[in-house]
Structure 1
Amino acid sequence: MTDGHAPSPDDGDAPALPDDCDAVRDALVSWYEADHRDFPWRRTDDPYEILVSEVMSQQTQLGRVVEAWADFLAEWPTAAALAAADRSDVVSFWSSHSLGYNNRAKYLHEAARQVTEEFDGEFPRTPDELSELMGVGPYTANAVASFAFNEGDAVVDTNVKRVLHRAFDEIHNAEDPDYETLANALMPPGESRVWNNAIMELGGVACQKTPKCDEEGCPWRKWCYAYETGDFTAPDVPTQPEFEGSRRQFRGRVVRVLGEYDELMLDELGPKIRVDYTPEGNHGREWLRGLLSDLSDDGLVEVDEDDSGTSVRLQQ
């Protein structure tokens, strides 16, 4: 993020947090709580149900997991029920629902047996304890601790890495980005359930490989390094398209914004094109006049100068 930074409370060498970190956090959580994809496992804090969803989601699109998850829980509604099932039936279910490697079904069945026999039917609560379950790696353990018990660390999956890489200039430009330290420093203490859901939703909806910043109302546009610079590369988007960050991209923004207004003054248009627009800055009036000159030459916009200033509209 680009607006000034305060040191991380956890590690002086870690990427720094923005000065207005509370505003950054509140913006994301408010965006998530106002409107998000309604997956059924987000409406439960049952650790067994959440574990099933996490294991199923490892190799399957979330939309396809919904039906399989409901069918699985209808067949085996508790860890005890799954532990008592014949393993071949569980594997057969997994295969018939095209849920990826059958080993995951075997591991899930064994994890249910461990919960029932080794943990007296009580799910372990912390990431370290959950990691003792068969087939439960660090990511899944942390996800279950977060979503079931609100006791997890920050989840750092591919989507979250993409968000952090784009939003924070120090992560974006680092040779070896420290995603986990930043993610944990950024997460509000004791809020792993809502925070991890929110930042994963941001990566899955707005900050996709092809970003949808404006379309999805990304709550971090005000602070985002990628949105400011137009450089939307990320770990899973290694090659920057020629369009990103180019004058052509910002010309397109001008046309799109003017399509929503009859007319705008130059300094009204600028902030709608770039969040870092300042009249006398590097990306200020001179830069914007250059874009408008190109668009005028192409017959796309009209630019009028008078005593009140410079006004811009689409060519009629």
Structure 2
Amino acid sequence: MTDEEGDRTGGVEGIESGAVDVDAVREALVSWYEDDHRAFPWRETDDPYEILVSEVMSQQTQLDRVVDAWHDFLDRWPTAESLAAADRSDVVAFWSGHSLGYNNRAKYLHEAANQVREEYDGEFPRTPEELSELMGVGPYTANAVASFAFNNGEAVVDTNVKRVLYRAFDVEDDDAAFERVAAALMPEGESRVWNNAIMELGGVACGKTPRCDEAGCPWRQRCHAYETGDFTAPDVPTQPDFEGSRRQMRGRVISALKEYDELSLDDLGPRVRVDYAPDGTYGREWLRELCSDLADDGLVELRGRDGQTVARLRR
């Protein structure tokens, strides 16, 4: 671990010490998700078999491509019982014909259906530990089925969730740290909505290329990356397009105001861009618009003083 990585502990300490308003974080994310989210059919069911099929199909396959295959699969084998009774070669042929890749997953899904029929009397196990006993069902899939079918899972920690936590709460790139923060954030007994919501955040707003403003990220005002303009993450090690970007300029505004408390636009400008010129392309109007965006996000205050616009961090 580098010195820089070792310093990224603020997210863990902040949440554990109460410096982060966890209730506000939870409410913001769940409200954002419930107001508008991608409509995938497996989000409209709590049938563990249907959810398991979606989870297995979604492994390394884009979700939009899974929708038709999921419907076709369930039309042919609508229950675990019907899948268990099917010829395994037919299941594999379906998998291959729909270009779902890794035909072993079809074999494992067929075997898992047999286990449910023969070992569990046709009733799906309900806990992540029990679900992990099914063929081909690893810890992530087991937890997903427990969460979305039975509301009985733990906090999901996948690549998307790690990216969100790393950026939003400055969590170090360490699996134990991610798991601690994810567990601390998830409301007790709410794994279904919470895990759907935080994965949606990673998929829609906080992807490798962030869409904070476009997607209306509910954590913008609390996000370390949004404040600093540094959107690197464990799976996004470098950002070649960061230099000169609006994100970088936002970060420079925040850094300057942290150092100087308050500055007029013309005093702030040269600390944001070396080519700042009050009446130039990157001048007073450009900077006022940039600061106005930060004000809309609740990070900066703008006020008039002696005929000038003065910026300061919001208290």
Task: State the partner residue of 2:6.
Answer: none
Asked whether the 8 Å contact 1:4–1:18 carries over to 2, the reply is: no
Distance in 2 between residues matched to 1:38 and 1:208, nearest whole Å: 18
After superposition, the Cα gap between the structure-2 partners of 1:122 and 1:306, relative to the gap in structure 1 and judged at 3 Å, is closer
After superposition, the Cα gap between the structure-2 partners of 1:160 and 1:7, relative to the gap in structure 1 and judged at 3 Å, is closer
Task: State the partner residue of 1:281.
Answer: 258
C-alpha deviation, 1:250, in angstroms: 3.8
| SS in structure 1 of the partner of residue 222 of structure 2 | coil
Asked whether the 8 Å contact 2:229–2:248 carries over to 1, the reply is: no
Give the letter aligned to residue 249 of structure 1.
S
Question: Whose helix fraction is larger, Structure 1's or Structure 2's?
Answer: 2
Q: Indicate yes or no: 2:43 matched with 1:42.
A: yes
C-alpha deviation, 1:100, in angstroms: 1.0
Please identify, of 175-184 and 156-165, the stretch whose mean Cα deviation from structure 2 is larger.
Answer: 175-184
Give the letter aligned to residue 213 of structure 1.
C
Please identify, of 152-161 and 285-294, the stretch whose mean Cα deviation from structure 2 is larger.
Answer: 285-294
After superposition, the Cα gap between the structure-2 partners of 1:27 and 1:100, relative to the gap in structure 1 and judged at 3 Å, is same
Distance in 2 between residues matched to 1:51 and 1:65, nearest whole Å: 13
Distance in 2 between residues matched to 1:202 and 1:7, nearest whole Å: 19
Asked whether the 8 Å contact 1:251–1:295 carries over to 2, the reply is: no
Asked whether the 8 Å contact 2:12–2:177 carries over to 1, the reply is: no
Task: State the partner residue of 1:258.
Answer: none
Matches within 5 A, 1:1-316: 8=16, 18-169=19-170, 171-172=171-172, 178-241=177-240, 243-244=241-242, 246=243, 248-250=244-246, 273=250, 277=254, 281-282=258-259, 284-285=262-263, 288-290=268-270, 291=272, 294=276, 296=278, 298-302=280-284, 307-310=306-309
| SS in structure 2 of the partner of residue 209 of structure 1 | coil
Distance in 2 between residues matched to 1:209 and 1:146, nearest whole Å: 25
Q: Percent identity?
A: 67
Task: State the partner residue of 1:266.
Answer: none
Q: Report the TM-score, using the length of structure 2 for normalisation.
A: 0.80
Distance in 2 between residues matched to 1:251 and 1:21, nearest whole Å: 26
Per-residue CA deviations over 1:190-244 (Å, capped at 9, x if unaligned) read 0000000000000000000010111111111111111111111111111233x43
| SS in structure 2 of the partner of residue 163 of structure 1 | helix
C-alpha deviation, 1:175, in angstroms: 6.2
Asked whether the 8 Å contact 1:3–1:223 carries over to 2, the reply is: no
C-alpha deviation, 1:300, in angstroms: 4.4
Give the letter aligned to residue 187 of structure 1.
M
Distance in 2 between residues matched to 1:218 and 1:107, nearest whole Å: 37
Distance in 2 between residues matched to 1:176 and 1:137, nearest whole Å: 17
Asked whether the 8 Å contact 2:69–2:98 carries over to 1, the reply is: yes
Asked whether the 8 Å contact 2:155–2:195 carries over to 1, the reply is: yes
Asked whether the 8 Å contact 2:143–2:156 carries over to 1, the reply is: yes
Per-residue CA deviations over 1:275-305 (Å, capped at 9, x if unaligned) read 9959953275267332377153643444699
| SS in structure 2 of the partner of residue 281 of structure 1 | helix
Asked whether the 8 Å contact 1:228–1:275 carries over to 2, the reply is: no
| SS in structure 2 of the partner of residue 31 of structure 1 | helix
Please identify, of 88-97 and 174-183, the stretch whose mean Cα deviation from structure 2 is larger.
Answer: 174-183
| SS in structure 2 of the partner of residue 285 of structure 1 | strand
Asked whether the 8 Å contact 1:154–1:196 carries over to 2, the reply is: yes
Please, what is the CA RMSD of the aligned residues?
Answer: 2.9
Distance in 1 between residues matched to 2:194 and 2:76, nearest whole Å: 31
After superposition, the Cα gap between the structure-2 partners of 1:275 and 1:215, relative to the gap in structure 1 and judged at 3 Å, is farther
Give the letter aligned to residue 133 of structure 1.
L
| SS in structure 1 of the partner of residue 258 of structure 2 | coil
C-alpha deviation, 1:178, in angstroms: 1.7
C-alpha deviation, 1:309, in angstroms: 2.5
Distance in 1 between residues matched to 2:174 and 2:283, nearest whole Å: 42
After superposition, the Cα gap between the structure-2 partners of 1:79 and 1:3, relative to the gap in structure 1 and judged at 3 Å, is closer
After superposition, the Cα gap between the structure-2 partners of 1:132 and 1:214, relative to the gap in structure 1 and judged at 3 Å, is same
Asked whether the 8 Å contact 2:12–2:180 carries over to 1, the reply is: no
Give the letter aligned to residue 47 of structure 1.
P
Asked whether the 8 Å contact 2:144–2:153 carries over to 1, the reply is: yes
Asked whether the 8 Å contact 1:146–1:153 carries over to 2, the reply is: yes
Give the letter aligned to residue 228 of structure 1.
E
Unaligned stretches of 5+ in structure 1? 9-15, 254-272
Distance in 2 between residues matched to 1:85 and 1:72, nearest whole Å: 12
C-alpha deviation, 1:185, in angstroms: 1.1
